[in-house]
């Protein structure tokens, strides 16, 4: 549905990630509306295990989300290159559960939990 690119916020002088709708969905009003709802919902969350949203907007009518840039790898990448210790796996599961509980308590459902969408930051979070 979307792709994420690393970028630099020149105004605030910080690295960011920009999530943009894939071109094949640009003309699909339902996907555009869903993407905008995702942006609004994500912006309302403030949790250490959920990527922070800095801004949302549109360019030439196409929506985008500006987010915290997480330095690290996805769980999918980690699993493909040796995996995790049992202890670290339990930590990751606990952190994912905490993030899901936080968002569910606010009436939000992720809808796409998978190893490729779970980010393990270089700082251990």
Active-site residue list:
112
Q: Judge contact between 72 and 124, C-beta under 8 A.
A: no
Burial 83-108 (b: 16+ CB within 10 A, else e): eeeeeeeeebeebbeebbebbeeeeb
Q: Can you say whether residue 27 is alpha, beta or left, with left for phi > 0 and alpha for psi between -120 and 50 degrees?
A: alpha
């Amino acid at each position: 549905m979307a792709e994420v690119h690393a970028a630099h916020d020149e105004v605030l002088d910080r690295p960011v990630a920009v999530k943009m709708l894939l071109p094949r969905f640009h003309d699909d009003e339902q996907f555009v509306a869903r993407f905008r709802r995702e942006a609004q919902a994500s912006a309302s969350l403030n949790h250490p295990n959920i990527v922070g949203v800095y801004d949302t907007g549109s360019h030439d009518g196409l929506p985008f989300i500006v987010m915290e840039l997480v330095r690290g790898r996805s769980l999918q990448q980690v699993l493909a290159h040796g995996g995790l210790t049992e202890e670290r796996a339990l930590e990751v599961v606990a952190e994912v559960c905490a993030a899901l509980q936080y968002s569910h308590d606010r009436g939000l459902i992720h809808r796409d939990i998978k190893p490729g969408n779970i980010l393990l930051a270089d700082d251990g979070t």
